[in-house]
Amino acid sequence: MSSGGFLKELQVIGEKLLLKLQRLPKADPVEIVSFCVILLFIATVLVMMVIACSCCCYSCCSCGGRPDHRRRKIQVRPAAH
Q: What is the pLDDT of residues 23-37, one digit of tens each?
A: 888 889 998 899 889
pLDDT above 70: residue 14: yes
Domain assignment of residue 56, given as a range: 28-60
> 2 lies in a domain?
no
Give the model's pLDDT for residue 17.
86
Q: Residue 9: what are its φ and ψ, rounded to 5°? A: -65, -40
> 55 lies in a domain?
yes
Cβ burial, residue 37 (10 Å; 0-12/13-18/19+): exposed
> Which of 20, 44, 43 is closest to 32 using CA atoms?
20
Q: Please tell me the total count of domains within the chain.
A: 1
